[in-house]
Amino acid sequence: MTRPFGYFVHHQGRGHAERCAAIAQALPPTRPMTVFCARDDIFPPLPAQVDIVRLPSLFEPSGDEPGTMDWVPTPVTLHCAPLGWPGIRHAMATLAAWFDRADPALMICDVSAEVAQLARICSVPHVKVLQHGDRDDPGHRAAYDGAAGLLAPFHAELAQPEWDAGLRAKTCFAGGLGVDVRIPEREVARQRIGVGADEEMILVVSGGGGEGFSQAPLGVGARARPAARWVTIGKVQRDWHATEPTNIEHRGWVEDAADHIAAADLIIASTGNTTCQQILAAGRPWLAIPEWRYFDEQHRKAEALAAAGVATVRPHLPSSAHAWDAALAETLAAHRPLRQRAMIDDAPADRIALWLEALADRLWTPLPFPLPLTPMERHPQ
């Protein structure tokens, strides 16, 4: 019987679930997979050999947790490990029981340093998804150092400069993983979303992992470029003091984000992974505004995008008309569409699936010769 793969999926945003589904579709049908997640409604279609097990959230209290243990410090090797939470106990017990029962070939962790370390403690080889950010802390290092491999859902040229040769050697990079990068023609996309062929369209994209951009600075930008049609998709924070002109339209959550991106002349967006891959695939001028995330993930990703020459970056939305003029002018002048599209790999899910299968074979294939004895084995105490 083929050993299954396990896959832990963080339920914030949609990118984690989308790349899990892409990998599952690319794996051979003989490879069963069990997915563990706090939500089962965020996944694209999954193949028949994939089961989803719902876990309690490791990060959100249910109301049954005691409030008397916060004085016990969290060790530096852990990030989120509050004491007395029955949901966390149940989640970890479910995972440990599955490890024992299923005898998995690999456990893929996207993302939780604690789940990765649990797999290692339970003697299950794991693959850790590698994300941008300041993650050189003991918790992340333990998860990375103990992993059989690392999976980076972005192009190798977007690696952070401090990632050493050892970390890169165990990493499989896959630009565009989990994202449908089949970008429609600009004219077709504009017809679909109701934008005229000759209009200048500036698109603002807020991802699903946070609260979105504020309304007020977008209004300032729209007033600074009145001839353009401004369209926002995703969540926008309402500001009581915002005064908006008539050339900005808020469409909220849409099912055709790819059409909006393909239709745009310039895009203003945060640096969540799915948004990044879609914009890079479309090759559009991009003003990247990182949002707050744990470990400064989006800020470090924005630095990598700027270093690769595929986005213009500002630390926050411009706050005046002249600042908007300068940022938009720089974005258009620095646009390198061929460079952007080069960040998207051919068939990234297939590449990852082959890498995972080869890694599992390497881990579980007996060696043709015995390993040399360690010093401790040669000279036992």
One DSSP character per residue, 272-289 reads -HHHHHHHHHHT--EEE-
Band of residue 111 on the pLDDT scale cut at 50, 70, 90 = confident
Residue-averaged pLDDT of the chain: 94
223 and 110 both lie in a single domain: no
Instruction: Tell me if 376 is assigned to some domain.
Output: no
pLDDT at position 147 = 98
pLDDT at position 380 = 47
264, 273 in Cβ contact below 8 A?
Answer: no
pLDDT score of 321 more than 70: yes
Measured over the CA atoms of residue 144, residue 145, residue 149 and residue 155, the dihedral's sign is positive
Instruction: Tell me if 222 is assigned to some domain.
Output: yes
- Give every CB contact of residue 46 below 8 A, 6+ residues apart in sequence: 21, 24, 25, 35, 52
pLDDT at position 209 = 63
pLDDT at position 374 = 60
- Give every CB contact of residue 199 below 8 A, 6+ residues apart in sequence: 228, 229
Instruction: Tell me if 241 is assigned to some domain.
Output: yes
Q: What is the mean pLDDT of residues 240-245?
A: 91
158 and 211 both lie in a single domain: no
pLDDT at position 14 = 79
pLDDT at position 124 = 98
Instruction: Tell me if 368 is assigned to some domain.
Output: no
259 and 119 both lie in a single domain: no
Instruction: Tell me if 69 is assigned to some domain.
Output: yes
Q: Domain of residue 58: give its range.
A: 5-179+346-361
Band of residue 59 on the pLDDT scale cut at 50, 70, 90 = confident
Q: What is the mean pLDDT of residues 145-160?
A: 97
292 and 351 both lie in a single domain: no
Map tokens 């029962």 to a residue: 101
Q: What is the mean pLDDT of residues 110-126?
A: 96
Q: Name the residue among 279, 248, 256, 251 with its Cα closest to residue 188.
A: 256
167 and 198 both lie in a single domain: no
286 and 170 both lie in a single domain: no
pLDDT at position 353 = 98
Least confident of 54-68, 106-120, 288-302: 54-68
Identify the CATH number of the domain in which residue 59 sits.
3.40.50.2000
174 and 197 both lie in a single domain: no
Q: What is the mean pLDDT of residues 242-248?
A: 94
Instruction: Tell me if 309 is assigned to some domain.
Output: yes
Structural domains in the chain (count): 2
207 and 237 both lie in a single domain: yes
109, 126 in Cβ contact below 8 A?
Answer: yes
pLDDT at position 208 = 65
Among residues of the chain, what percentage have pLDDT more than 90? 85
Give the phi and the psi of residue 65 in degrees, each rounded to 5: -85, 140
pLDDT score of 304 more than 60: yes
CA 222 to chain centre: 30
pLDDT single digits (tens) 172-222 = 999 999 998 889 999 999 999 999 999 999 999 987 666 789 999 999 999
pLDDT score of 17 more than 70: yes
Q: What is the mean pLDDT of residues 120-132?
A: 98
Least confident of 29-43, 202-216, 280-294: 202-216
161 and 238 both lie in a single domain: no
236 and 253 both lie in a single domain: yes
pLDDT at position 373 = 61
Band of residue 371 on the pLDDT scale cut at 50, 70, 90 = low
Instruction: Tell me if 37 is assigned to some domain.
Output: yes
pLDDT at position 61 = 85
Band of residue 76 on the pLDDT scale cut at 50, 70, 90 = very high
pLDDT at position 12 = 79
Tally Cβ neighbours within 10 Å of residue 226.
10
Band of residue 378 on the pLDDT scale cut at 50, 70, 90 = low
Instruction: Tell me if 282 is assigned to some domain.
Output: yes
174 and 203 both lie in a single domain: no
pLDDT score of 372 more than 90: no
Q: In what order do the strands lie in the sheet with 5-9?
A: 50-54, 33-37, 5-9, 106-110, 126-129, 149-152, 171-173
The Cα 381–Cα 366 span in angstroms is 28
pLDDT score of 54 more than 90: yes
87 and 164 both lie in a single domain: yes
